[in-house]
């Protein structure tokens, strides 16, 4: 799919719904703040990136790297693409760019969302050819995200081996300092639930319950719970909470 026909890969400023120009003001502030800065790491994305500022992990781990945070709440891929093409990368040369965006692309297909992410990566490579790009997988908040993660994981790296690499990423959670990833999951049930919170849910299931769900071809935690709850209700007159 060409970028011209893909709304998720077409650079678009965010609609000024509030009528106060806050999105454009924030973009202009990022451009201004980047002048004279020498960040080692740049974070770019939506509110998941923006809110990192509020956690201790930012002060302890990322502030010493002179990291910049260019996260904007509500941004989709097309909005981040517009921002990066209009000045946010023009005055800095970070060693690493961390990209986390796509959750807000409601109404777009997995292929379109992935196309938007790849378009952003291409812009980063054009403007920052020596930077490494770390792309974080999307949190599984709706069904299309699983397909998007799989689609993007299958994409070849843009450019050749002389260009900066794309590191296909991990979901980083502040829960007990864990880092969780979809990589290396052994079966469909694990693949669908690869964030820290959902791994916690997955561990609730016993070995026998997991085997039963996989035998029935069930690869989502909720449906697995429903199956187990139905079996318990039939045997004991009770069901598991969903």
The pTM of this model reads 0.63
CATH number of 3-169: 3.40.50.1110
Domain spans, the chain: 3-169, 175-242
- Interval 72-82 mean pLDDT: 96
Q: Which residues of 37-73 are buried (b: 16+ CB within 10 A; e: fewer)?
A: eebebbbbbbebbbebeeeeeeeeebeeeebbbbbbb
pLDDT at position 138, please?
81
* pLDDT single digits (tens) 161-210: 444 545 444 433 333 333 334 333 444 444 444 433 444 454 556 777 77
Q: Is the pLDDT of residue 32 over 90?
A: yes
Q: What is the mean pLDDT of residues 69-79?
A: 95
Cα 109 from Cα 75, distance rounded (Å): 17
Q: Ranked by mean pLDDT, which of 54-63, 89-98, 142-151, 214-223 comes out on top?
A: 89-98
Q: What is the pLDDT averaged over residues 151-165?
A: 54
């Amino acid at each position: 799919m060409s970028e011209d026909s893909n709304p998720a890969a077409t650079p678009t400023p965010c609609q000024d719904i509030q009528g106060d120009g806050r999105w454009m003001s924030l973009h202009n502030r990022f451009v201004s703040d980047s002048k004279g800065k020498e960040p080692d790491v740049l974070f770019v994305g939506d509110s998941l990136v923006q809110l990192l500022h509020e956690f201790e992990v930012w002060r302890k781990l990322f502030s010493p790297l002179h990291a910049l945070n260019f996260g904007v709440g509500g941004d989709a891929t097309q909005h981040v693409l517009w921002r990066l093409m209009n000045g946010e990368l023009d005055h800095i040369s970070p060693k690493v760019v961390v990209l986390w965006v796509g959750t807000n692309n409601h109404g777009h297909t997995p292929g379109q969302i992935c196309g938007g992410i790849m378009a952003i990566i291409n812009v980063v490579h054009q403007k920052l050819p020596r930077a490494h790009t770390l792309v974080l997988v999307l949190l599984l908040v709706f069904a299309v995200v699983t397909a998007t993660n799989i689609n993007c994981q299958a994409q070849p790296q843009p450019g050749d081996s002389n260009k900066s690499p794309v590191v296909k990423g991990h979901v980083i959670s502040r829960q007990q300092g864990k880092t969780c990833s979809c990589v290396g999951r052994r079966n469909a049930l694990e693949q669908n639930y690869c964030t820290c919170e959902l791994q916690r849910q997955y561990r609730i299931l016993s070995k026998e319950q997991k085997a039963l769900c996989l035998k029935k071809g069930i690869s989502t935690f909720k449906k697995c719970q429903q199956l187990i709850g139905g079996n318990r209700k039939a045997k004991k007159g009770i069901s598991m909470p969903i």
